[in-house]
Each structure stands twice: as structure tokens, then as C-alpha cells.
Amino acid sequence: MRSLIIVALIALPACAQSKDKWPSLAPRAIESATPGSAAPAQPASVSAPAAAVIDANARLTVIGREVDTLETRWNLQSKATTTAVAAAKGSAPSSEVWSTAQLELTRLNQLGNQIDDMRVRLDRIAGDLAVAANGGADARASIAATGAMIARVQALGAQHSAAFRAADAALPR
């Protein structure tokens, strides 16, 4: 082992060219581009309005998944609320059955708030797409998709309002 270290120390000065000349980090001749070779392709720049459409499409995709989940949760909660309110019929307010129904009604209302939030987020996307279209971007397909999603959320919101009012009216006071 000791002899290996001594050999390495003796060979180390042989690696140096001179005391005042360090190895260059510049590309070697073989590494430089040859005449006639094509330069690497530059990525195409995207205009700000086109980038806004791309961003809006990404947000719309996320909201679409969230609406799917919200719709499923709302359907389950609507059934749970209807069942709890039906069980509370004829019971005294503040009884355990009535309190359970009131809790389920509150949970249903929270989902209604989330539906309203989805609508606000979709309105923002529609506004961003309108600005992008005004800036020259082709946003027709994105605007149509956003409009369809808004219609879906509005339908769920209307369904929620009707179900909430009916359950609230059926709960004994």
C-alpha cells in the first residue's frame, strides 16, 4: 500500500504541463462545429396569448377532474341528506335524529359552496380565454370547452339548490 502511494506521488508531476499554463476548458478542435453542420434547432417561441390558452386548457383539465369528483361526492351526500331528513320526520328539533339530519344538510350545503367556487374559477378561465382571443390566439375550442363545463357546473348548481331547499323545508322546525 505504501509503495502505491509513493508511485502515485512520483507520477503526479508528470500530469502537469507547466507551472504557468493550465489546461484549457475551451472546446477542442474536434468538438467545435464543422462547416456545413446544422446548428441545433431553437424551440419555437410561444406568444403570450397562445401561452394563456395553453395555461387555460391545463386549468380546465384540472377543474374537469375536480368537477367529476365533486359531482360524485354531491350525489352521495344528497342521498345521505335525503335519508337523514326522512328519518327525522316527526322528531323533535334538537333530537339526535334531527341533529344528524341537520349535519347532513350542512355537509350538502358545503358541497354547494364548492360548486359555486368551481363556477367562479371557470368564469376566470373564460375571461382569460377572451383576453387571449382578443390578443390574436385561436381560443375557439377552449372557449367552447369552457362553456360546456360552465353549463355542467350550472346544472349541478341548480340540482343542488333544488335538493337543498327541499331537504331544508322537510326538516322539522
Percent of the chain with pLDDT over 70: 75
Rounded mean pLDDT of 146-164?
A: 97
Enter the C-alpha cell of residue 82. Answer: 335525503
Rounded mean pLDDT of 139-160?
A: 97
**Cα(142)–Cα(21) distance, integer angstroms:** 61
Percent of the chain with pLDDT over 90: 68
Query: Does residue 161 form part of some domain?
Result: yes
Total domain count, the chain: 1
Query: Does residue 79 form part of some domain?
Result: yes
Query: Does residue 34 form part of some domain?
Result: no
Residue 172 contacts residue 92 (beta carbons within 8 Å): yes
For the segment 97-107, what is each residue's pLDDT rounded down to a tens digit? 999 999 999 99
**pLDDT value of position 69:** 97
Query: Does residue 61 form part of some domain?
Result: yes
DSSP state of 20: S
Rounded mean pLDDT of 13-27?
A: 63
Beta strands (DSSP E) in 88-165 are: none
Three-state SS at 144: helix
Higher pLDDT, 87 or 7: 87
- In the predicted model, is pLDDT for residue 15 greater than 80? no
Query: Does residue 113 form part of some domain?
Result: yes
Instruction: Name the residue range of residue 147's domain.
Output: 48-170
For the segment 24-59, what is each residue's pLDDT rounded down to a tens digit? 677 776 666 665 555 555 556 778 899 999 999 999
Query: Does residue 86 form part of some domain?
Result: yes
**Residue-averaged pLDDT of the chain:** 87
Three-state SS at 27: coil
User: Residue 37 half-sphere exposure, CB side, CA atoms within 13 Å?
Assistant: 7
Q: Using CB atoms within 10 Å of the CB of residue 167, give its burial: 0 to 12 exposed, 13 to 18 middle, 19+ buried.
A: buried
Single pTM value for the model = 0.71
Q: State the chain's maximal CA–CA distance in angstroms.
A: 101
Query: Does residue 42 form part of some domain?
Result: no
Query: Does residue 9 form part of some domain?
Result: no
**pLDDT value of position 64:** 96
